[in-house]
Amino acid sequence: MKRQNVRTLSLIICTFTYLLVGAAVFDALESKKEKTQKKKVYDRKQELMNTYNLSQFNFDELERVVLQLKPHKAGVQWKFAGSFYFAITVITTIGYGHAAPSTDGGKVFCMLYALLGIPLTLVMFQSLGERINTLVRYLLHRLKKCLGMRRTEVSMVNMVAIGFISCMSTLCIGALSFSYFEGWSFFHAYYYCFITLTTIGFGDYVALQKDHALQTNPKYVAFCFIYILTGLTVIGAFLNLVVLRFMTMNAEDEKRDAEQRALLSRNGQAGGHNHMRCTPDLPSSSSAASGCGGGSGNSGVGGAGRGLRNVYAEVLHFQSMCSCLWYKSREKLQYSIPMIIPRDLSTSDTYMEQGEAFSSDPLHPLHSNGCICSMHHPHSAISSVSTGLHSLTPYRLGHSKRRSSI
């Protein structure tokens, strides 16, 4: 079966299993308390009905009124500040539900608003997240330089660590502020921040609902909005760093399959010839493949935990044979036809020649077979062919930076 199908099926099974396990645990944790609380509330209700001599009908009437008044308890929800708060909860998909449109016109507009707003917000947060990651990478690089460290490249592990720390501090800062302003315990405020910034947004805890804060405390209101948007950016940056790559895995495999099919469906002789030249590279490519397969760490050749990635990378690398081949031919060509070697080629050749000088360069480690398979390089060149033609663009991306599979 194709790899993409296997991957998709396993993910589906994984998710179902995860749901089942989660359901079982939540059942175990919450069921008992629910039962006891339900009984308690029911008993209290009966008491009240007796005390005030209320029939069930009367009580139902009261109940209706109380429940309908509930959203109004927290103050005016739809003035500009409240509407802005609501608009945030819509386009970020948090959706507390503390205020929900009651008019049909409001519902219709809400749907249309979400239709355009949600993709806009997704793209915005990822864009901003990528900028932040780039900035952090740069700052870390400079920091390492200033600290006089030998290896100043910024690895994936560094980035993930920093991302994780920033997420945790964002949550803690929010927890502190909201526990102070809303009078919640630190744990509940942390829980609120977490549920908000993951956009789950239960609505069991909602900020700006006490003491008519939306109308009377504009500074706190501004802080809340800024906190939510900034926090989502930080989380978005972390997701951009860690999760986004996995979302495009299937599409890239599909593309690679298509290219391989094209490769294999050509004329037999030419194919055979190419294969002959390619095959001897395969064994030596394993080391590069494992290096290519790695997407993290500073080590050049694949480490212990990368067995599975090697399999991926090896197949990818077979496909990338053509480009490596190309570079090898170029290397040979460079000595015979120096005039037609464009600048880009020469640069990569210098990389090959001056490998040592470049080992300190964070993004271009070399491998024994001369392939410039950069595992660190945050570049997503997909295929040899596209690489070749990309270099024709004004951006002058001469080097084939092989993208690691994972």
Partner 1 sequence: MKVQNIRTLSLILCMISYLLVGAAVFDALESETESSKKKILEQKRNELKKKYGFTQDDYREIERVVLQSEPHRAGRQWKFAGSFYFAITVITTIGYGHAAPGTDSGRTFCMFYAVLGIPLTLVMFQSMGERINTLVRYLLCRLKCCMGLRWTDVSMGNMVLVGLLSCMSTLCVGAAAFSHFEGWTFFHAYYYCFITLTTIGFGDFVALQKKEALQRRIPYVAFSFMYILVGLAVIGAFLNLVVLRFLTYSTQEGTRSLEVEREEQAAVPKRPWGGKAVEEADVEASARDRFCISALCSCMCFRLCACDSPFPSRCEHSGCHSNPLFYNSISYRVDEASCSSRGTSAQSSPSSGALFLGMSNSHTRRKSV
Residues 48-107 close enough to bind partner 1 by CB under 8 A: 48, 52, 54, 58, 61-63, 65-70, 72, 76-80, 82-84, 86-91, 93-97, 100-107
Q: Is 216 in the site for partner 1 (CB under 8 A)?
A: no
| End-to-end CA gap in the chain | 20
Stretch that binds partner 1, among 175-183, 215-223, 308-316, 335-343 (CB under 8 A): 335-343
Rule CB under 8 A: choose which of 143, 186, 246, 279 binds partner 1: 246
The site that binds partner 1 (CB under 8 A) totals a number of residues, namely: 186
Binding mask 9-48 for partner 1 (x = CB under 8 A): --xx-xx--xxx-xxxxxx-xxx-xxx-xx--xx-xx--x
Rule CB under 8 A: choose which of 349, 355, 359, 369 binds partner 1: 349
Rule CB under 8 A: choose which of 267, 280, 283, 304 binds partner 1: 267
Q: Is 151 in the site for partner 1 (CB under 8 A)?
A: no
Written as six digits, the tokens of 86 are 């609501």
Site for partner 1, residues 368 to 397, rule: CB under 8 A: 375-380, 382-386, 388-397
Q: Is 172 in the site for partner 1 (CB under 8 A)?
A: no
The least CB distance from residue 270 to partner 1, in Å, is 4
Rule CB under 8 A: choose which of 221, 316, 345, 373 binds partner 1: 345
Stretch that binds partner 1, among 209-217, 279-287, 304-312, 345-353 (CB under 8 A): 345-353
Rule CB under 8 A: choose which of 144, 173, 259, 359 binds partner 1: 259
Helix ranges restricted to H, 153-248: 156-182, 186-197, 213-216, 218-242, 244-247
Q: Are 60 and 172 in contact (CB under 8 A)?
A: no
Within 13 Å, how many C-alpha atoms sit on residue 83's CB side? 8
Q: Are 87 and 113 in contact (CB under 8 A)?
A: yes
Rule CB under 8 A: choose which of 211, 230, 271, 301 binds partner 1: 271
* Rounded distance between C-alpha atoms, residue 139 and residue 148, angstroms: 14
Task: Give 167 or 286: the residue with its C-beta nearer to partner 1.
Answer: 167
Q: Is 164 in the site for partner 1 (CB under 8 A)?
A: no
Please state whether 239 falls in left (phi above 0), alpha (psi between -120 and 50) or beta. Answer: alpha
Written as six digits, the tokens of 117 are 């707003």
The least CB distance from residue 88 to partner 1, in Å, is 6
Distance of CA 310 to the CA centre of its chain: 23
* Secondary structure class of 240 (helix, strand, coil): helix
Rule CB under 8 A: choose which of 145, 216, 357, 360 binds partner 1: 357
Site for partner 1, residues 179 to 198, rule: CB under 8 A: 187-188, 191, 194-195, 198
Q: Are 90 and 117 in contact (CB under 8 A)?
A: yes
Instruction: Tell me the residue length of the chain.
Output: 406
Q: How far is CA 73 from CA 22, 36, 201, 329, in A?
A: 34, 27, 20, 76
C-alpha dihedral sign at 159, 161, 164, 170? negative
C-alpha dihedral sign at 117, 118, 119, 121? positive
